[in-house]
Structure 1
């Protein structure tokens, strides 16, 4: 179990490291392995930047500033996961890293709107699992690595379901 993060910067660093570990150990097609390594490297660099950052204090400013180096590394991660969807790392993943600083809601995948009941139920279950994980803020702070792995697992399942639903929804049996 992780030690409880004491600052939003420590929480962001812990989340970045957890995702980097998943990326560096994920099985993927050969053309995606280098991208996974790059994703892990940039997330680790973001974590180092978060750990080293000395927050600024601005009178009247509520919130947390973002270290420029960390923001740049996360931007590269966003580009990589967008360019290499076969990594099955969602483009929204950096929102999990930034959330302790921004206070924004955690992301959900876009709805797939399956026509077939089986896929509708599967998507509803995945969305419920993700919502439960998002609501478990205590675990996100005390077992960040396990929590982040579970979050990524649900996203990966949703990403695998998406093309299946797309094909099923386009099936001639569903056309009028």
Structure 2
């Protein structure tokens, strides 16, 4: 049995609150985007509260793996809001950072953009390397949850800004020599 079965839930709550703070501190191009960021923050806070209040199962092999229904519902709403409003620059996969301490699943990674031009390929490689480095820094992820989450989200924002530029660049006509 785990020494502290509530620890993964407290970590999940702290991550949800850190992401909620980022959403509250963010801005968007329209009033609707700003409202959506507020909604994302509110639902993440709701998930954090549910994780904090949750008493996990204490069944050997299952301890620390059950998901509170209220938290799961709140996180589902966050995914839907983030997916439906990309201008928030909050990735829909952000909820996986919250649940990873409980589920033990790998942290999310953006799909490759496969840029054609060297400039964008270099930029994407730098973004992916930065995210990989953050994912590998498990000591910081445990000790500085707020700072680590902010840095992770900043890297995701860079990727989300780059994606439409790569799309446009990859679809424009090329001159053959």
Q: Give me the TM-score of the superposition, normalised by structure 2.
A: 0.92
Structure 1 match to 2:19: 19
Structure 1 match to 2:169: 168
Deviation, 1:57, is: 1.7
Residues 109-139 of structure 1, C-alpha deviations (whole Å, 9 max, x = no match): 1100000011001000000000000000110
Q: Give me the TM-score of the superposition, normalised by structure 1.
A: 0.93
Contact 2:56-2:64 within 8 A present in 1 as well: no
Structure 2: gaps of 5 or more residues: 1-5
Structure 2 match to 1:155: 156
Q: Aligned pair in 2 of structure 1 residues 174, 124: CA closer, same or farther (>3 Å)? A: farther
Structure 2 match to 1:129: 130
Contact 2:8-2:64 within 8 A present in 1 as well: no
Contact 2:79-2:95 within 8 A present in 1 as well: yes
Rounded to whole Å, the distance in 2 between the matches of 1:87 and 1:64 is 30
Deviation, 1:63, is: 4.5
Structure 1: gaps of 5 or more residues: 1-5
Rounded to whole Å, the distance in 2 between the matches of 1:77 and 1:149 is 17
Deviation, 1:61, is: 2.8
Rounded to whole Å, the distance in 1 between the matches of 2:24 and 2:97 is 18
Deviation, 1:59, is: 4.0
Contact 2:100-2:106 within 8 A present in 1 as well: yes
* Pairs within 5 Å for 1:23-172: 23-29=23-29, 30-61=31-62, 63-172=64-173
CA RMSD of aligned residues (A): 1.5
Higher RCO (CA-CA < 8 Å; seq separation 6+): 1
